[in-house]
Amino acid sequence: MQPTAESAIADAPRTGDIYRAVWRWHFYAGLLVLPFLILLSLTGGLYLFQKEIDGYWYRDLKTVAVRDHAPLPASQLLAAAQAAQPGVAGRYTPPATPASAAQVLIRAPDGERQIVHVDPYDAHVLGTLPDKGTIMGVVRRLHSLDYFGPIANGAIEIAAGWTIMLVLTGLYLWWPRGRRAGVITVRGTPSKRVFWRDVHAVGGCVLAVFILFLATTGMPWSLVWGGKVNQWANGSNFGYPAGVRVAVPMSDEHLAHQGHTSWTMEQAKMPMSSAPATSGEAFGLDRAVAAFKQLGLAPGYAIALPSGPHGVYTGSVYPNDLSQQRVVHLDRYTGRVLLDMGYADYGPLGKGLEWGINVHMGQEFGLVNQIVLALACVGIVLFCVAAGMMWWMRRPAGGLGVPAPPADRRALRGVLTLLVVGGIIFPLMGASLVVMWVIDRVATRPARVVATAR
């Protein structure tokens, strides 16, 4: 016997059950990610202005008076830095402008890394700062939870995956369905729950694009997903993008170990210099600086100094203008260019992700980029506060106030399908999904037993 239209409708999950199922998992996503969203928004909003803040706060170290004579050779500035801060020099950064100090990274015998700032006109040491120890360096490490190790970094990856689910389920809950109130307007006053509900819903709708963009473009830095995608995109040719010709001997050292590099180049291995010349080193830092300048590296580039007899001089620069992003390796004895690559050499995936990262960091479109994302960060904090307030006003005494499960368990199928797809794309999020699903099943078991008894 064929089912009638009426019976088919009766057998389908009710709209109210679907809404309840979505709301329940939206609530779980909020529990997991709202604290992270607040932290990431506050630290990320500040870091958008890292150059301006660090430049102002450490202006006595970073800026010098312009003289009417040429700066001293790089080798003299390096020697002055090593005299002031004993240790092994690892990186030299030429002055980016006539009013900028030169910077030398020194690894002390105890392993601590210090940045020595030197006046390029008279080799006077202006002072030192711990590497990544500036105000904005601390903010960045808080933003990535770097202080708390790889497990915390994994938590960020989980939060990013759940954030995407939070936005998608939130848009479903916001959808008007014939309503007008609370869709694009805010009702009531701050003393009423409906006010915070509308601030959260309307604000979330406006911010959805920004939250999704920031969560997605933040994933390349993640522990599992970012590493695997990077390996897939740049796993051949010693970690260089496909199409980059690597025809020189390569070491086991990676570019990322020497300091800041682009996401695309994190796996790139370092080439090796030729056998040492019998007459000693024939190509020093001064000639390396001249060579990088002649090759046209954008101002602000840094030079990683050779480490060991087969080390190389590596000039790298990652400016706001992606087209000028570039890494060049020079043989330490002959000055021969071993590898020279830039943004134009990246594959389509690398280019797209680097562009997203650049926008994420507020660099691609200058001040407009910074202001728009800063406002979005403020909005996200308000969005999270509104969620907390409306939950606080709704919660029962002594309970979390988890939305009731749907009466028809089939209503969960669509929500779980969405979550499973997200879990496949983001493995750590998928693992946390299994944990949350088990908790949800255990939490709702007593209710199902009572319903069955009735």
- Are 296 and 315 in contact by the 8 Å Cβ rule? The answer is no
pLDDT for 352-372, tens place per residue? 999 999 999 999 999 999 999
For 381-411, letters b (16+ CB in 10 Å) and e give: bebbbbbebbbeeeeeeeeeebbebbebeeb
Residue 237 is assigned to a structural domain of this protein: no
pLDDT given for residue 385 in this prediction: 95
For 305, phi then psi, to 5°, come to -80, 150
pTM for this structure? Answer: 0.85
- Where is average pLDDT lowest: 78-92, 156-170, 176-190, 350-364? 176-190
* Greater model confidence, 413 or 303: 303
Q: What is the mean pLDDT of residues 30-59?
A: 94
Does residue 212 share a domain with residue 156? yes
pLDDT given for residue 362 in this prediction: 94
Does residue 185 share a domain with residue 36? yes
Residue 351 is assigned to a structural domain of this protein: no
Does residue 316 share a domain with residue 297? yes
CA–CA gap between residue 112 and residue 46 (Å, rounded): 26
Does residue 371 share a domain with residue 277? no
Question: What is the CA angle 306-307-313, rounded to 5?
Answer: 15
Q: What is the mean pLDDT of residues 260-268?
A: 83
In which band, very low, low, confident or very high, does the pLDDT at 13 lie, cut at 50, 70 and 90? Answer: low
Does residue 338 share a domain with residue 316? yes
Q: What is the mean pLDDT of residues 70-83?
A: 96
Does residue 250 share a domain with residue 338? yes
Does residue 377 share a domain with residue 302? no
Containing 127, the helix (H) or strand (E) segment is strand 125-130
Does residue 371 share a domain with residue 413? yes
Residue 229 is assigned to a structural domain of this protein: no
Q: Considering 133, 165, 188, which residue would you say is the last residue of a domain?
A: 133
Q: Considering 81, 98, 133, which residue would you say is the last residue of a domain?
A: 133
Residue 404 is assigned to a structural domain of this protein: yes
Bridging pattern class, strands 125-130 and 250-254: unpaired
How many CA atoms within 13 Å lie on the side-chain side of 266? 17
Q: Which residue has the tokens 């570039």?
A: 326
pLDDT given for residue 451 in this prediction: 39
Does residue 162 share a domain with residue 41? yes
Q: Considering 133, 156, 190, which residue would you say is the last residue of a domain?
A: 133
Non-local (6+) Cβ contacts of 18 within 8 A are 406, 411, 414, 415
Does residue 298 share a domain with residue 383? no
In which band, very low, low, confident or very high, does the pLDDT at 406 lie, cut at 50, 70 and 90? Answer: confident
* Greater model confidence, 231 or 446: 231
* Greater model confidence, 166 or 419: 166
CA–CA gap between residue 275 and residue 273 (Å, rounded): 7
Is the Cα dihedral 258, 263, 266, 270 positive or negative?
Answer: negative
Tokens linked to 30: 């909020």
Bridging pattern class, strands 337-342 and 125-130: unpaired
Domain count, the chain: 3
Residue 352 is assigned to a structural domain of this protein: no
Residue 124 is assigned to a structural domain of this protein: yes
pLDDT given for residue 1 in this prediction: 46
* Greater model confidence, 139 or 15: 139
CA–CA gap between residue 323 and residue 351 (Å, rounded): 10
β-sheet bridge partners, residue 314: 304, 329
By residue range, what is the domain housing residue 27? Answer: 13-48+142-222+367-453
CA–CA gap between residue 292 and residue 314 (Å, rounded): 9
Residue 1 is assigned to a structural domain of this protein: no
pLDDT for 221-251, tens place per residue? 887 888 888 877 776 667 777 667 677 888 8
CA–CA gap between residue 168 and residue 239 (Å, rounded): 35
Does residue 201 share a domain with residue 85? no
- Where is average pLDDT lowest: 156-160, 222-226, 394-398, 442-446? 442-446
Which CATH number covers residue 125? 3.10.450.40
Does residue 146 share a domain with residue 106? no
Helix locations, 48-87, DSSP H? 50-57, 59-62, 74-84
pLDDT for 119-151, tens place per residue? 999 999 999 999 988 999 999 999 988 888 777
- Where is average pLDDT lowest: 48-52, 148-152, 251-255? 148-152
| pLDDT of 412 over the 80 cut | no
Specify which of 17-26, 103-112, 277-286, 412-421 reaches the highest per-range mean pLDDT.
103-112
pLDDT given for residue 8 in this prediction: 40
Amino acid at 121: Y
